[in-house]
Chains A and B, each alone.
Chain A
């Protein structure tokens, strides 16, 4: 079945540091790929998405590129802020678009 693997956390960075959170996937067909963010006590918020190979999703300074050859969708940000502290989930959708398969999540802690 489909699966998503992302780097374990926590990831601890100083403010303005560069962020990379690795995500790889296994899926049949051509899934869409997503990054979600979860702040404490809240539900999931869609951060960015990409629907086909070589697409780049971007939002709020975060970027991720759909790499079919390496089955990856790594999340990057050039300069993190304390307010970016949260748990980040990589996910893919099935071909029918009925369900999301999530990775285990990566906690990011940004220190001033």
Chain B
């Protein structure tokens, strides 16, 4: 079975721009969660998608938004980028929110300059 695939692996954007990160979930998984990991820190929960609807959100502003598609893949969109948005963005997939079965991708490293 394939694991979680994220693209791109690295990205450099300018402050104020918009960015879209992509995630393909593991085969058989229907729930996708996104986490932000700043350098030297633990991951922080952004939001989760289940059945194409947001199913929980962490303490992130509305300029962080997402989508889930019928094939369970997902996008994370960030508008009006700020320097503090520079981080590793991790996607994790699971089956029906079963947290024990989370599979993480390798992440997208976003640098905002």
**Known contacts A96-B56, A99-B58, A101-B45: A46-B106 contact under CB 8 Å:** no
Pairwise interchain contact B43-A32, C-beta atoms closer than 8 A: no
Pairwise interchain contact A93-B99, C-beta atoms closer than 8 A: yes
How many A residues, CB 8 Å from partner?
Answer: 23
A97 within 8 A of B: yes
Chain A min CB distance to B94 (Å):
9
A interface footprint on B13-48 (CB within 8 Å = 1, 0 otherwise) = 000000000000000000001010000111111001
Interface residues on B, range: 20 to 34
B interface footprint on A81-93 (CB within 8 Å = 1, 0 otherwise) = 0000000010101
A69 within 8 A of B: no
In the complex, which of the residues B41, B42, B102 contacts A46, with contact meaning CB atoms closer than 8 Å? B102
Chain B min CB distance to A77 (Å):
20
Pairwise interchain contact A102-B44, C-beta atoms closer than 8 A: yes
A interface footprint on B50-84 (CB within 8 Å = 1, 0 otherwise) = 00000110100000000000000000000000000
Beta-carbon contacts under 8 Å, A1-19 to B: 4
Count, A-B residue pairs, CB within 8 A: 56
| Distance between Cα atoms of A105 and B104 in the complex (Å) | 16
**Known contacts A44-B43, A103-B42, A104-B41: A98-B106 contact under CB 8 Å:** no
Chain A min CB distance to B39 (Å):
11
| Distance between Cα atoms of A103 and B99 in the complex (Å) | 17
Chain A min CB distance to B3 (Å):
9
Pairwise interchain contact B43-A89, C-beta atoms closer than 8 A: yes
In the complex, which of the residues A41, A49, A99, A104 contacts B42, with contact meaning CB atoms closer than 8 Å? A104
Chain B min CB distance to A55 (Å):
12
**Known contacts A32-B99, A44-B90, A103-B42: A98-B48 contact under CB 8 Å:** yes
Beta-carbon contacts under 8 Å, A39-79 to B: 41-46, 49, 51
A-B complex: 4 closest residue pairs judged by Cβ atoms: A102-B42, A43-B104, A98-B56, A99-B45
